Copies of this chain bind each other. A is one copy, B any other.
Amino acid sequence: MARAATTTDAFNAIAEPRRREIIDLLAGGEQAVGELVRELGLGQPQVSKHLRVLREVGVVAVRDHGRQRLYRLNGSALKPIHDWVKNYEQLWSERFELIDDVLTDLRKDQADDHDH
């Protein structure tokens, strides 16, 4: 089996750096494809394809405006990612570093006790 499709879920969709860049740009508000093309310095078809992926996983939505297509962010589609990674937030917090030190000391004391 090959790798899962980029359109499988948000996890796969945001693995691509340009797509995260697009999301960051749309955080500032609705934008047309042409603007994104200029800001990204990518070809227009490439940008359109990235936008398609983001659309399919629900991270962005489109709106027609004359001959332009305005894309906007739908941040809630990123919630599953946040929910998952949030479980590990404590693992790099300063508070945890302290707790970790304490636990290490406790284990050390236990080892000393067993040495007797």
Enumerate chain A interface residues (CB-CB to B < 8 A): 3-4, 6, 11-12, 14-17, 20, 23-24, 27, 73, 75-76, 78-79, 81-82, 84-92
**Bound state CA distance, A65 and B115, in angstroms?**
21
**Main DSSP-derived SS at the A contact region:** helix
Q: Which of B16, B75, B81, B87 contacts A27 (CB 8 A)?
A: B87
- Chain B hits for A11, CB < 8 A: 14-15, 17, 20
**Bound state CA distance, A20 and B11, in angstroms?**
10
- Of chain B, the residue at the smallest CB distance from A87 is B27
Query: Quick check: A27 and B88 within 8 Å, CB to CB?
Result: yes
**Bound state CA distance, A22 and B73, in angstroms?**
31
Residue from the set A6, A24, A79 with the largest chain B CB neighbour count within 10 Å: A79
Query: Quick check: B75 and A82 within 8 Å, CB to CB?
Result: no
Nearest chain B CB to A24 CB, angstrom units: 8
- Chain B hits for A89, CB < 8 A: 82
Nearest chain B CB to A71 CB, angstrom units: 15
Q: Which of B12, B17, B73, B92 contacts A75 (CB 8 A)?
A: B92
